[in-house]
Amino acid sequence: MSSSISQMRSQLLSIRFGTSKPVLVLSFLLCSVCSALPAHAEIVGGPSTVRYRAGVIASICTITATDGELGASTNRSVISSSASELSGGFFGNPTFAAIDVTSNMGATGTLIATTPTLTGPTAATTSQLRFRNLSFATNATENLAADGSLKTTLDVRFDAPAGGFNNGTYTATAVVTCNQ
């Protein structure tokens, strides 16, 4: 078959355009090539179904916190992580907690802090907290940025009963969560 294709090529090259011969040679050449190809691809075996498992879409929120430190007013009436709340001087090294949030919730997400707890020899009469330097309250909420992130601070404040806080070690905790 390869020698007949060579002959067709040489005939095709020797024919001038403008005559009827090139059409005949080309049609012969095209028919020869077409007959060498299969008319359709043969299906072997049965069909197979491709399935996709369910995709899970979930809100993701990662909160990274750096602990704060408490201080006490010299008159023992207030324990706080904010030095500005400890009027008249203070003991300790009051420091806010730093919070960094990364999420896929965008601006629809919020960071929520619930009422803090104080552990120590004397129970507090008032327990409050705040994000950044906003007003103290029993709960606090802050909106996430459009990209779902937030960098903020958290302060706590505890008021003592009459007579002040007794000597001892005090610790505080606050629970911070993301919500959408």
All structural domains of the chain with their residue ranges: 2-36, 61-179
C-beta atoms surrounding 108 within 10 Å: 13
Q: What is the CATH number of domain 61-179?
A: 2.60.40
| Across 34-56, average pLDDT | 76
**pLDDT number for residue 163:** 95
Residue 155 pLDDT level (bands cut at 50, 70, 90)? very high
pTM: 0.70
| Across 99-121, average pLDDT | 97
Residues 6+ apart with CB under 8 A from 4: 32
| Across 79-105, average pLDDT | 96
- Which phi and psi angles does 67 have, rounded to 5°? -60, 150
